Amino acid sequence: MQKIAIILFFICILFISSAYGAYENSNNGDINIPPGMEVIKKGDVNVVVPKGGRLRKQNKVTLIETADEYASRKFEDADKRFQRIEKELEAQKKEIEDLKRAVNKTEEDGRKK
């Protein structure tokens, strides 16, 4: 639980830094983007969000995904990836066992001849 709180704290810092860290350069209007952040253009407005962050529409207002929503979605995505990787790993383990049996059988057949 403490790890989740720490992660959420850092994500909140990312959101706060996006509000203060992105500023327009008066020379040519470019936006300086902090590391780990990206710009999403919505109409005439550029919004700085964490990489992978989303905007959502609530009634007629477009809102930035909250830190809780962002963290929850990222944890869910990571969990799905881990499950997929575990399935692939099990399939590879099974294939290795099948190959070991085939090699052993070939060795035994070679000894019998």
The ranges assigned to domains in the chain are 2-112
pLDDT in tens, 61-84: 888 888 888 889 889 999 999 999
Pairing of strands 45-50, 37-42: antiparallel
pLDDT in tens, 19-61: 554 444 433 456 678 888 888 888 787 888 888 888 888 888 8
The DSSP 8-state label assigned to residue 66 in this structure reads: P
The owner of tokens 């850092």 is 10
